[in-house]
Chains A and B, each alone.
Chain A
Amino acid sequence: MLTIFERAPRPSRGAVLLGAVALGLMLLAGLARVPAGETPVKAAASPATVQIDNFAFAPATLTVSAGTTVTWKNEDDSPHRIGDNNGTFKSAAFDTDDTFSHTFAAPGEYPYICTIHPYMVGKIIVKPAGKSS
Chain B
Amino acid sequence: MADRDDKDLSGAAKMNRRGLLKCMAWTGTGVVWTLSGGVPRTLGLIGGAAAAEAPQGALTFVQISDSHIGFHLPPNPDPSATLTEAIEKIKAMPTQPAFLVHTGDISHLSKEEQWDDADQIIKSANKQVFFLPGEHDVADADNGKAYLARYGKGTKGKGWYSFDHGGVHFIGLINVFEFQPGFKSAGLAKLGDEQLEWLEKDVKGLSASTPIVLMAHLPLWTIYEQWGWGTQDAGRALGYVKRFGSVTVLNGHIHQIIQKVEGNVTFHTADSTAFPQPAPGTAPAPGPMKEVPANELRKYLGIRTVNYVRSKGAPALTDSTLVA
Contact = CB atoms under 8 A, between A and B. Distances in A.
B180 A118 contact: yes
Residue with the highest number of chain A CB atoms closer than 10 Å, among B73, B109, B181: B181
A117 B179 CA distance: 9
B252 to A, nearest CB: 14
Contacts of A17: none
Interface of B: 73-74, 108-110, 135-136, 139-141, 143, 179-183, 186-189, 226-228, 284-288, 290
Given A113-B179, A118-B186, A121-B186, A79 B141 contact: no
A59 B290 CA distance: 25
23 contacts: A55-B287, A77-B288, A77-B290, A79-B109, A81-B139, A85-B181, A90-B141, A92-B110, A92-B139, A93-B139, A93-B140, A111-B181, A112-B181, A113-B179, A113-B187, A115-B139, A116-B135, A118-B180, A118-B181, A119-B186, A119-B187, A120-B187, A121-B183
B73 A96 contact: yes
Contacts of B288: 77-78
A38 B215 CA distance: 51
B284 A54 contact: yes
A119 B141 contact: no
Interface in A83-133: 85, 90-93, 95-96, 111-113, 115-121
Contacts of A119: 186-187, 226-228
A4 interface: no
Interface residues of A, number: 26
A120 B187 CA distance: 8
Interface of A: 1, 54-56, 76-79, 81, 85, 90-93, 95-96, 111-113, 115-121
Nearest to B289: A77
Contacts of A113: 179, 181, 187
B186 A116 contact: no
Contact of B228 (A79, A93, A95, A117): A117
Contact of B141 (A76, A92, A95, A120): A92
Closest 7 CB pairs of A and B: A119-B187, A118-B187, A93-B139, A55-B285, A118-B179, A113-B181, A92-B141
B36 to A, nearest CB: 37
A92 B145 CA distance: 12
Contacts of A95: 108-109
A1 B108 CA distance: 18
B289 to A, nearest CB: 10
Contacts of A90: 141, 143
Residue with the highest number of chain A CB atoms closer than 10 Å, among B73, B187, B189, B288: B187
A92 B140 contact: yes
A118 B231 CA distance: 12
Nearest to B225: A119
Contacts of A92: 109-110, 139-141
Nearest to A84: B181
Given A55-B285, A79-B109, A93-B109, A1 B141 contact: yes
A1 B228 CA distance: 26
Given A77-B287, A78-B286, A117-B227, 11 more contacts: A1-B141, A54-B285, A77-B74, A79-B108, A79-B136, A85-B181, A90-B141, A92-B109, A93-B110, A111-B181, A119-B228
A132 B169 CA distance: 63
A88 to B, nearest CB: 13
Nearest to A87: B143
Given A93-B110, A118-B186, A119-B227, A79 B181 contact: no
Contacts of A111: 181
Nearest to A112: B181
A55 B226 CA distance: 11
B161 to A, nearest CB: 23
